[in-house]
Amino acid sequence: FEVEKMTPDFTRPDKVMAYKQAAMDFDQECLVFDIGSHSVKAGFAKEDVPSLHFNTLVADTFPLHGMRPGAKQHALVGMVSPTVRWEGEKSGVRQPVRRGVITDFDDYEQICWHVMNTL
């Protein structure tokens, strides 16, 4: 195989449109995630702009009244709310990505689940 023949030619407008149409036909159901230190953008590959845009934050909610101790709490993703649990000086709000590096994979997974369930 020659590398030049496999590389798309983006210098001709007709070629650009052909590649874009082929990508749209192929990527009908592909999701695109951009999870950064401050915000998350996500959407389908065929869309020009992301359909979701929210802060890269994860927080735990208060346990419901009458919940048994140790019951799993729900996570809030992308927002800060009055139901956020505050632990003294340490906030219950967490940033799973800092300076482009994933620091908490469990919270990162919560963000991914939130995006997939919302879209």
The confidence score (pLDDT) of residue 85 equals 53
Do residues 38 and 54 touch, judged by C-beta distance below 8 A?
Answer: no
Give the domain extent around 94.
Answer: 3-118
Q: What contacts 115, CB < 8 A, 6 or more positions away? A: 31, 33, 40, 42, 52
Are the beta carbons of 57 and 79 closer than 8 angstroms?
A: yes
pTM passes above 0.85: no
Query: Which is more confident, 50 or 22?
Result: 50
pLDDT for res 66? 57
Question: How many structural domains is the chain composed of?
Answer: 1
Q: What is the mean pLDDT of residues 95-103?
A: 90
pLDDT tens, position by position, 55-68:
888 887 655 555 55
- pLDDT greater at residue 97 or residue 19: 97
